[in-house]
């Protein structure tokens, strides 16, 4: 299969007590870890099923201590795994793009996280299409909390602007869009998605993917809450 673009997943090992702590309560630390693990696994399924994508995972954290560590380790074998590096999140994002470019020069990149397990291969294909076809040099998918869930770049070297954008803020999406435009990019808009920060987010996203690992993990909290 010809690889048309890199599909980069920014991931954190879902270690109970450290992953998705804003879900607690009503979730326990163990349940929050299970939800984070399920989100990552469902995301990896969508990513590895996306035609034309070269799956790359930029990972941080202790995977050996994570929920579903063996299952995640097996899923990661379908991808190329690189380590996140940098002193803050924006820098780690920029460095992940730079590390991909060093090995796969010339390939566009679509970057997502592990907090939108409702993504599908069709959605990811549609997200990168405007970049591959030259309609836009970048695309950005906003999140309902003011951040963003997806970034596509024709030239991933432009991701260096991410190091200057404050992350996890209510205006992170707007400031990222402004930074990309200021560097001369034509930025197209992707659909707005809800990412998973709170239990209300988790329940809303789970309803979009009935029968998924993520929905089952969230349902376990419904039963015990």
Per-residue pLDDT at 163 exceeds 50: yes
Q: Which residue has the higher pLDDT, 224 or 115?
A: 115
Q: What is the pTM of this model?
A: 0.93
Q: How far apart are CA 220 and CA 215, in angstroms?
A: 9
Per-residue pLDDT at 167 exceeds 70: yes
Per-residue pLDDT at 183 exceeds 80: yes
Q: Is position 160 within any domain?
A: yes
Query: What domain count does the chain have?
Result: 1
3-state secondary structure of 196: coil
3-state secondary structure of 63: helix
**Average pLDDT taken over every residue of the chain:** 94
Q: Is position 225 within any domain?
A: no
Task: Return the residue matching tokens 């984070």.
Answer: 36
In the Cβ-directed half-sphere of 115, how many Cα atoms lie within 13 Å?
24
Per-residue pLDDT at 15 exceeds 50: yes
Q: Return the CATH number at 65.
A: 3.90.550.10
Q: Is position 52 within any domain?
A: yes
**Residues 18, 24 contacting (CB under 8 angstroms):** no
Average pLDDT score over residue span 113-140:
96
Where does the pLDDT of residue 225 fall: very low under 50, low under 70, confident under 90, or very high at 90 and above? very low
Q: Is position 100 within any domain?
A: yes
pLDDT given for residue 71 in this prediction: 97
Domain that residue 81 falls in: 5-220
**Residues 192, 136 contacting (CB under 8 angstroms):** no
Dump the DSSP string for 202-222. Answer: HHHHHHHSTTSHHHHHHHHHH
């Amino acid at each position: 299969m010809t690889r048309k673009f890199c599909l980069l997943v920014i991931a954190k090992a879902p270690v109970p007590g450290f992953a998705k702590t804003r879900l607690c309560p009503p979730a326990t630390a163990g349940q929050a870890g299970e939800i984070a693990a399920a989100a990552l696994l469902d995301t990896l399924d969508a990513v590895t099923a996306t035609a034309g994508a070269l799956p790359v995972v930029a990972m941080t954290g202790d995977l050996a201590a994570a929920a579903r560590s063996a299952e995640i380790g097996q899923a990661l074998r379908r991808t190329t795994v690189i380590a996140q590096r940098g002193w803050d999140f924006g820098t780690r994002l920029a460095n992940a793009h730079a590390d991909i470019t060093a090995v796969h020069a010339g390939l566009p990149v679509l970057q997502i996280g592990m907090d939108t397990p409702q993504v599908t291969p069709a959605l990811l294909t549609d997200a990168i299409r405007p970049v591959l076809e030259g309609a836009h040099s970048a695309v950005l998918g906003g999140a309902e909390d003011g951040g963003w869930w997806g970034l596509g770049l024709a030239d991933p070297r432009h991701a260096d602007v991410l190091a200057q954008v404050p992350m996890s803020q209510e205006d992170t999406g707007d400031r990222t869009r402004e930074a990309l435009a200021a560097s001369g990019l034509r930025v197209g808009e992707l659909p707005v998605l809800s990412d998973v920060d709170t239990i209300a987010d988790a329940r809303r996203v789970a309803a979009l993917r009935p029968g998924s690992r993520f929905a089952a993990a969230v349902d376990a909290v419904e039963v015990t809450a």
